[in-house]
Chain A
Amino acid sequence: MRQIIKYSLLILGAVVFAYPFLWMFAASLKPEIEIGGFSLWSSNLSFKNYEQVFARIPIARAFFNSIIVSCSTTLSVIVFGSMIGYALARLNFRGRNALYYLILFTMMIPFQITLIPQYVLMVKLGITDTYLALIAPTMISTLGIVMFRQFFMSIPQALIDAARIDGCSDFRIIFAVIWPLSRPVVITVAILSFMASWNEVLWPIIVVRERTLMTLPQIVTLFTIGGQSEALLGLQLAAATLLALPIIIAYSFFQRYFIDSMVSSGVKG
């Protein structure tokens, strides 16, 4: 009996968390008047709304922009994170502890205080409306550094000594020796970084005004609250579906990694 209650609740939960997405997709295919209905089916399904979205906003371009920005950011976070994490974990240098505390300190600075001056910096450097402005502020992730450092501290010293005897420079040690062993942490940091960058919308709204440079969530946001969607729900839902699609596809292949990454980041943070 207990089991039945438990399963019912879980299924209810599943409906609550999943049905809205299915409804959203179905509604984007329905004609405008029918959108208010519960059913996922209609006799008048069409992709008209999607055609309209592609016609009205440069959404494919925005997708491309998001890919470029997120991939670059993720790559940069991983490279720099492992470099600095390695230095903090395995190398000895004056100021090492101070640097680590500095990194922890900067993790605590609320972005609300740095947001405006950071924008001003972009303006002064003349790089607003560029990919650089979107990538630069998140090129190095303090969380990433901490995670890499923690992982690297657990690598057996013997391995590193052996590589050094072979004459490897630090760079080679990091990228040729340690990395192959670091799959879990690299994947974790990569997923966290990619997701954060992909879904980021406040910063792009601030530094990018040029439509051809906007990221995917940014252009969907402006499409919804600007006049272009003309308060037509079908268009807005279609745009939202397009925005959700890439991440959902990635999620369906890599669920475990997504879940593990985000949960472990919380625990460590």
Chain B
Amino acid sequence: MKKYKTKYDWSAYLLVLPYIIFFLMFAAYPLVFSLVLVFHRWDIVTPMQWVGLKNFMRLINDPLFFKSIVNTLTFLFIHIPLQIVVALGFAMILNSKLKYRSVFRTIYFLPVVVSGVVVTILWQQLYSFDSGLLNRLLTVIGIPRIPWIVSPEMAMPSVAIMATWKNVGIYIIMFLVGLQNISAELYESSNIDGASRFQQFFSITLPLLNPTIVVVLVLSTIGGFSLFIEPYVLTGGGPMQSTLSAVLYIYNQAFYFSHMGYAATLGLVFAVVIFAVIMIQKKTVEMDSTV
């Protein structure tokens, strides 16, 4: 075998140096320091105090932390299916030969680009029990008013609906792209075979859309785990802590009660939970796609 010397470009090291510095400062240091912080108690102002495993002991006895994780998962369980169904629905309608497609696309995408703060302030009014637009609409139709964000049961679903409204635009377009990649011939030949639209959907559309569905799933999940500004502005975490997301609870512990060490502990455990959920998702989805 001819041995040849690979030509190395030393200039490359200069080019990637910024990233190395960046990595050390904003990835390596935070990871390492978080492992230090979880064993300490600190409020920034006064010196750090070693507390050993106390933060973990406290976490185990912290019903509010578990509630916040359950809340976040509740959010995901409502938001993700809703998002997929709505996005797929609109995508399928848009997929046919229609005029003004790009106009509709532009409009549906609008909520995506604006800040979550705008959406939340807007929906705060829409959801208002007495004077909100949604309840006014219901009253006009004759349906009793819904306690959107004042009922502990309805609050998180309301947040999920609002989040779906905000983000569904991207996924409509992603599904649209996915649908357009499915060759029309497949449908034609199945038509010849006498397949109903129903059957076509389940045996052609869905399976071929699987990769897109996976992407939508993963992105929505990661986004869902960062849920913060919506409950922060809309409900402050209430009523009865039903919209307290995990990130919001961590934020409160760190910046409202100044428990840096405990907040870091919560963050660490939460990151493990996120990891576990994503792994489970991957496994389930991989199982589906091999079917």
Question: Which of B96, B109, B110, B177 counts the most chain A CB atoms within 10 A?
Answer: B110
Residue of B nearest to A80 (CB): B18
Instruction: Indicate if A158 sits at the interface (CB-CB under 8 A).
Output: no
Residue of A nearest to B169 (CB): A17
List residues of A (86-135) whose CB comes within 8 Å of B's CBs.
86-88, 91-94, 96, 99, 102-103, 106, 109-121, 123
B side interface size, CB within 8 A:
90
Q: Which chain A residues lie closer than 8 Å to B13 at the CB level?
A: 93
List residues of B (218-266) whose CB comes within 8 Å of A's CBs.
219, 222, 225-226, 228-229, 232-233, 236, 246-247, 250-251, 254-255, 260, 263-264
A side interface size, CB within 8 A:
84
Whether B170 and A262, one on each chain, are in contact in the complex, defined by CB atoms closer than 8 angstroms, is yes
Interface string of A130-145 (1 = CB under 8 A from B): 0000001101100001
Instruction: Indicate if B107 sits at the interface (CB-CB under 8 A).
Output: yes
Whether A13 and B104, one on each chain, are in contact in the complex, defined by CB atoms closer than 8 angstroms, is yes
List residues of B (31-58) whose CB comes within 8 Å of A's CBs.
31, 33-34, 37, 44
Among the 9-residue stretches B131-139, B151-159, B198-206, the one with 4 or more Cβ atoms under 8 Å from chain A is B131-139
Whether A7 and B98, one on each chain, are in contact in the complex, defined by CB atoms closer than 8 angstroms, is yes
Given A112-B246, A112-B274, A248-B114, A92-B133 contact (CB < 8 Å) = no
Whether A117 and B9, one on each chain, are in contact in the complex, defined by CB atoms closer than 8 angstroms, is no
How far is A114 from B271 in the complex, measured between Cα atoms in Å? 10
SS of B interface (majority) = helix
Whether A109 and B27, one on each chain, are in contact in the complex, defined by CB atoms closer than 8 angstroms, is yes
Instruction: Indicate if B77 sits at the interface (CB-CB under 8 A).
Output: no
Closest CB pairs A-B (n = 9):
A36-B131, A117-B30, A114-B30, A113-B271, A91-B9, A240-B121, A91-B12, A93-B12, A117-B33
List residues of B (118-135) whose CB comes within 8 Å of A's CBs.
118, 121-126, 128, 131-133
Instruction: Indicate if B3 sits at the interface (CB-CB under 8 A).
Output: no
Chain A residues within CB distance 8 Å of chain B: 3, 6-7, 9-10, 13-14, 16-18, 20-21, 23-24, 27, 35-36, 38, 80, 83-84, 86-88, 91-94, 96, 99, 102-103, 106, 109-121, 123, 136-137, 139-140, 145, 169-170, 195, 198-199, 201-202, 206, 217, 220-221, 224-225, 233, 236-237, 239-241, 243-244, 247-248, 251, 255, 258-259, 262-263, 266-267, 269
Whether A6 and B170, one on each chain, are in contact in the complex, defined by CB atoms closer than 8 angstroms, is no
Whether A262 and B7, one on each chain, are in contact in the complex, defined by CB atoms closer than 8 angstroms, is no
Given A13-B90, A113-B34, A221-B233, A237-B15 contact (CB < 8 Å) = no
